[in-house]
Structure 1
Amino acid sequence: MTDLFYLTEGNPPPQNAAGGFFTTRDGRKIRYGVFAAVARPLQGTVVLLTGRNECIEKYFETIRDLADRGFGVATLDWRGQGDSSRLLRDRQRGYVRSFRDYTRDLEQFFEEIVLPDCRGPYYILAHSTGAVIALLASPSMVNRVRRMVLIAPFLAVPDLRVSIATIRRVCAVFCALGLGRLYAAWGPRPKLPTPFEMNKVTSDPERYRRNTDIYRAWPHLGLGGPTIRWLKAAAAAAEAVSDRDFMARIQVPTLIVGAGADQVVSTKAVESYARRLRVGSLLMIDGAHHEILQERDLFREQLLAAFDAFVPGTGDAA
């Protein structure tokens, strides 16, 4: 362990690492990391937003890739996961009252850390739940963020016969009955990781092993399944960002990247959303699983090439 980050074999930390904790307005401690670019010319800062049950350490490789491109990186563990404050006595339960709590934390992160301490211009690279949080926050980010790259946003569950609105309504009933802290799926984190052959997030055995090793070595960074209240909040956020009037307020140019073999979020919903977003474009990476940044090089390099093409380079830096 360093002073702030947790180390495992095969997952070296990026150079020029700094960070700490900031305290949210409702008293939660949020861990963040700031990583300076190692290449020149300097291109600005990428704000990296992780998915559900992810931590900063899982993105060390991606942070190094961005630093090698001349970007600084600023990232954080969302409230309730990683090394940030947990919201329930049982640390395993994935819980949040509302995704607006996440967006308020993100806005405070910008105000207290990113804007004063990180070089502009600013870009967002976000995965899954983080991509939905970025969309939800985007109307207030229009004068801060130049472009967003959103990977596999969690807008709907694949092959589900009911709508996301129905999921929200059913969860709301359970919450009204005082059952919001119960698991909605999966339960506590298993003592042994899911065998690689049964995982749904990547086809890369080495990156899968690297990521499971993080949580095996440092189990307090991990999280079990989502609670009913978390699922209600996620469904409400997916509905909110899909509203036609809300989408019209999104003015930050956005590249949405879908995983063609995604078994976690609905690829059809991702495609449909990108087509309806006025400032959006779509890249579908055929054959890729949900966690494209943790995928085989064949898929991961397509994403990084798209990032390089979409996020302005040398001549665009401020």
Structure 2
Amino acid sequence: MEQAKFYSDIAEGPASGNAYWIETDDGVRLRVGAYQSEVKAKGTILLMLGRFGYVERYGRVAKTFAENGFSTAIIDWRSQGLSDRMASDPQAGHIESFSDYQKDVAALLKAAEELELPKPYFLVGVSMGACIGFRAMLDGLPVAASAFISPMFGIKMSTIQRIAAWPLSWAFQKLGIGQNYVPGESGEIYILETPFENNNLTHNNAMYEYWVKQAQAAPELQIGGPTMSWLYEALAECRRLSTVPSPNIPCITFCGELDQLVDNASIKRRVAKWPNAEFSMIRNAKHDVLTEIPEVGGDVMTQIFDFFAKASAEAMP
């Protein structure tokens, strides 16, 4: 694979961090990243981030993974980071079909194989990345266990917003104007336009400042708000996934009590019909539970590592 630009100075991840170009089956050029374990390898975490995600965003998280024996493979989804943008406005968070993300998953898996990252594979999915990862698990993603952080199994909306969102987003798609922003959204970079005190992601000021510095240093990695097409496709995928059985793969799920982005009720319904799943509602936590301050989130990382170790042990003959 051809080397891609990698911003090691703002990632603050393992020294082994690097990025590569890879192409999907439908000809989209994506950027994938890899961080190697810093101790005896326990496997590789396929890290699937949400709508703002890019390779460097969780560099510090990948550092913790590496210190605990896990390599990390991560991807800039199409329309994010340095991967090809799908809309005429490169700032738009746009997708033509939610199923296109599965082509990106296939590219991530191919990269992990070509880089010979250690097995077994584990999935850590954050928000939209958890939704994408859940679909991939249903389609046979070869992971021994998964951990979901505020999974997007439903989008948090008021009743009035939900009633309006379906027909409006559908109509925009049918009229060929699905690349328009969702009302109230724009190409502005959330992390630069929103003071820490007003953010809906985390109580962790140090982590928020880390993201702000990344956005200031490399604005080309950032995107703005979602398009109407993304909204319709996301709503439709959440509805489709709500009717399917859970995969026979162990899963631990964390949600923030104060989450303003995803619908916690939808997450509870999913976990309730997942026999080998564990669930934790983190009191006073916002959306990005994995980066919350210890006083709020506790040690989510340790719980994930312990869960993965237990799943690995149970899977051994």
Stretch deviating more after TM superposition (307-316 or 59-68): 307-316
Identity level (%) = 26
Q: How far does residue 220 in structure 1 lie from its aligned partner after superposition?
A: 0.8
1:169-215 residue CA offsets vs partner (Å, 9 max, x unmatched): 43112211222110014111159431111111111111111101111
Distance in 2 (CA, whole Å) between partners of 1:278 and 1:300 is 25
> After superposition, where does 1:214-229 map in structure 2 within 5 Å?
214-229=214-229
Distance in 1 (CA, whole Å) between partners of 2:106 and 2:160 is 33
Stretch deviating more after TM superposition (95-104 or 308-317): 308-317
Aligned to 1:126: 125
> After superposition, where does 1:161-172 map in structure 2 within 5 Å?
161=159, 167-172=165-170
Q: Please tell me whether the aligned partners of residues 165 and 239 of structure 1 are also in contact (alpha carbons under 8 angstroms).
A: no
Where in structure 1 are there 5+ consecutive unaligned residues? none
- Shift in CA distance, 23/159, structure 1 to aligned 2, threshold 3 Å: closer
Aligned to 2:90: 91
The amino acid of 1:217's aligned partner reads A
Query: Is 2:79 the partner of 1:74?
Result: no
- Shift in CA distance, 164/137, structure 1 to aligned 2, threshold 3 Å: farther
Aligned to 1:282: 279
Distance in 2 (CA, whole Å) between partners of 1:96 and 1:64 is 30
User: Please, what is the CA RMSD of the aligned residues?
Assistant: 2.3
Distance in 2 (CA, whole Å) between partners of 1:165 and 1:126 is 28
Q: Please tell me whether the aligned partners of residues 208 and 294 of structure 1 are also in contact (alpha carbons under 8 angstroms).
A: no
Query: Is 2:259 the partner of 1:273?
Result: no
Where in structure 2 are there 5+ consecutive unaligned residues? none
Distance in 1 (CA, whole Å) between partners of 2:164 and 2:113 is 39
SS state at 1:123 partner: strand
Query: Is 2:60 the partner of 1:58?
Result: no
> After superposition, where does 1:149-168 map in structure 2 within 5 Å?
149-161=147-159, 167-168=165-166
> After superposition, where does 1:8-87 map in structure 2 within 5 Å?
8=9, 11-40=11-40, 42-87=41-86
- Shift in CA distance, 201/126, structure 1 to aligned 2, threshold 3 Å: same
TM-score, normalised by the number of residues in structure 1: 0.90
Distance in 2 (CA, whole Å) between partners of 1:251 and 1:8 is 40
SS state at 1:312 partner: helix
1:107-148 residue CA offsets vs partner (Å, 9 max, x unmatched): 2321x2223421111100010000000111112225x11101
SS state at 2:299 partner: helix
- Shift in CA distance, 88/159, structure 1 to aligned 2, threshold 3 Å: closer
Stretch deviating more after TM superposition (266-275 or 227-236): 266-275
Aligned to 2:238: 238
Aligned to 2:6: 5
The amino acid of 1:31's aligned partner reads R
SS state at 1:19 partner: strand
Aligned to 1:291: 288
Q: How far does residue 6 in structure 1 lie from its aligned partner after superposition?
A: 1.7
Q: Please tell me whether the aligned partners of residues 136 and 237 of structure 1 are also in contact (alpha carbons under 8 angstroms).
A: no
Aligned to 2:213: 213
Distance in 2 (CA, whole Å) between partners of 1:129 and 1:315 is 26
Distance in 1 (CA, whole Å) between partners of 2:252 and 2:311 is 19
Distance in 1 (CA, whole Å) between partners of 2:181 and 2:161 is 20
Distance in 2 (CA, whole Å) between partners of 1:227 and 1:24 is 22
- Shift in CA distance, 315/156, structure 1 to aligned 2, threshold 3 Å: closer
Aligned to 2:249: 252
- Shift in CA distance, 180/314, structure 1 to aligned 2, threshold 3 Å: closer
